[in-house]
Structure 1
């Protein structure tokens, strides 16, 4: 496996690989790793004792260097996976963001974890792994963990897309309408109103602070295709039936949602994508040990929120790590927010 300099620049490397799904199709995925600078103190000089693998959301890619630095500061080797048809793994002639079955991600997630395990310099056992996912990546991570018990030691979900807006009745109605299209014309585009409110709140090209590559994360997202939407709705139905994940799970969401066809100032401090109250209820279907943290003022990705808000989110994540990973019961320790 050959590592190359990453688009994020110094401190990051990437390797592209192929993985065959259950349908036998080879798909391209890209694993990104954070390589701390030895001059950065403990995070750069000590050998990590654990690893974390981050899965991005739909129509997205990994770019949050601050998140990587946080995990490195907690003693983790940080990795992120740009899944097929996303970000660094986009290829000409493919539909951005498209997947016909969320199970098709299993092979590349499993392969990425295998690569992470092979990096141990002394050939010893792989590092204990925490799986982290945002939005649709949170749904994918939860489904993967339920199908691969014993592979991940913990699960961290950042605003996971576990259910449609409103209620399961909305999902069932949507599935009834989408299924005929998904069966016969899976790649057909479903025309939906285009909104770029969330992008507006995070992109430095608009009113946010994050430098985004619009080729990897388009302002209006990729076109919604029938097969993809059917795959997501099927995943939601699985979550609703209960996943019985047997490892500790942390779910972080905003304190409130803001929806609608027109921009509102409240979208600067709320989740403008998901119904957080619905997600909070559905999180109880994930497993037996679920911690829910509601972050006042947070955006859809809580770790892209305004600095004071994401500092709160990082502090809550660090407390959970101390309690459920390090095992000290979440007692107060040194400052854990990234610089």
Structure 2
């Protein structure tokens, strides 16, 4: 495959960050693009990089995450997938997908770019739904052998819903999604977790609420079908050859209303027991660790919790990656 040199422009995150938009073939909604964000460190090793993949109703905005990777000798890249964040186009439904393999060309393009810029050791770092996509890509993606390791932050391997809903209602909606993918169930996923993050409400972080609203974007039957297919693949077992680190909170939030401080010290989105149970099915080299007092997105947890998450990540990487050149 030929590689066209990227044209970077300044990114919305400001000094040091730049972005490159990549046009992709049209899909069922029309034109498609993905976006790579870069933060380079001229003092870092010339051959090491990380590619970060965001979660659902999300995009890359975590400056501190980039600085941590840079401080540990990695060039930093992040990918806003199609229909998310910087890549969302006016005619598109946010986060709309009918098969998670639709994201594979975005990862192909991003990895082409990262490697063309001289990075031979590439770590894929992903959060939540991005963690599910990353695991599936590392199992079957075209450039999976380009990955040296995976670091998954609270990966989305199962719906955090009552057993009856998961076993009865979701299979019905999954079948509906094959015929009527745009059908949108009337259900609210709540706003407590979103309020726990953004500084306009109860959190400490600032980001674009049009791209990452406090209450997540509505999901349709096509999205549910795509996610459930991915979950079934994980449950059956993958064959990820690379070493994988799976981090998750030590507790699941049990009381969502009214808003309470447990949002700041538990996973307010997923059931951590699901993550613990399913993570070993990714492949033969999986390490699973709980972060005490962590939020769903561990790197957005309050201090000192997020510093502990970073410590676990970089100490583990030091044991699985070849020495930097």
| 1:128 counterpart = 2:124 | no
Q: Answer yes or no: is the 8 Å Cα contact 1:299–1:305 preserved in 2.
A: yes
The residue number in structure 1 matching 2:194 is 199
Specify the alignment match of 2:306 in structure 1.
310
Question: Within the alignment, does 1:30 sit opposite 2:35 as a pair?
Answer: yes
Aligned to 2:22: 17
1:288 match: secondary structure: coil
Aligned pair partner of 1:82 in 72, 80, 83: 80
Alignment of 1:241-256 (within 5 A): 241-256=236-251
Unaligned runs of 5+ in 1: 37-43, 121-125, 329-339
2:295 corresponds in structure 1 to: 299
Q: How far off its partner does 1:259 sit?
A: 3.5
SS of equivalent to 1:98:
coil
Q: In 2 relative to 1, CA 261–135 (structure 1 residues): closer, same or farther, beyond 3 Å?
A: same
CA distance in 1, matches of 2:307, 2:54: 20
Partner residue of 2:3? none
2:148 and 2:30 map into 1 onto residues whose CA distance is 29
User: Which stretches in structure 2 are left out of the alignment for 5+ residues?
Assistant: 1-5
Please, which of 224, 227, 237 is the counterpart of residue 229 of structure 1? 224
- 1:201–1:324 CA distance, 2 compared to 1 (3 A): same
Which stretch of the first structure deviates more once superposed, 208-217 or 146-155? 146-155
Could you say if the C-alpha distance between residues 180 and 25 of structure 1 is closer, same or farther in structure 2, counting changes exceeding 3 Å? Answer: same
Selected match of 2:275 from 266, 276, 279: 279
The CA distance in 1 between the partners of 2:282 and 2:169, in whole Å, is 22
- Deviation per CA, 1:159-199, whole angstroms, max 9, x where unpaired? 00011226887544344221232122201211112411111
Equivalent residue in structure 1 for 2:8, among 3, 11, 22: 3
**Which residue number in structure 2 is paired with residue 334 of structure 1?**
none
| Cα separation, 1, equivalents of 2:26 and 2:235 | 25
Indicate conservation of the 8 Å contact 1:49/1:75, yes or no: no
Q: Judging changes above 3 Å, is the alpha-carbon distance between structure 1 residues 308 and 195 closer, same or farther for their aligned structure 2 residues?
A: same
* Contact 1:182 1:230 (8 Å CA) reproduced: yes
Aligned residues: 316
- Please give the root-mean-square deviation of Cα atoms over the aligned residues, in Å: 2.1
Mapped contact 1:259–1:273 kept (Cα < 8 A): no
Aligned mates of 2:315, 2:323 — CA distance in 1: 10
Aligned partner of residue 206 in structure 2, secondary structure: coil
Q: Distance in 2 between matches of 1:218 and 1:24?
A: 22
Give how far 1:224 is off. Answer: 1.0
Q: Runs in 1 of length 4+ with deviation above 6 angstroms?
A: 21-25, 166-169
1: distance between equivalents of 2:163 and 2:104? Answer: 25
TM-score (structure 1 length as normaliser): 0.88
Q: Does 1:290 align with 2:283?
A: no
Per-residue CA distance 1:106-164 (angstroms, 9 max, x = gap): 001001110112223xxxxx421111110000000000000034221101100000112
Q: Which moved more, 1:242-251 or 1:178-187?
A: 178-187
TM-score, length-scaled by structure 2: 0.92
Q: CA separation in 2, counterparts of 1:87 and 1:66?
A: 18
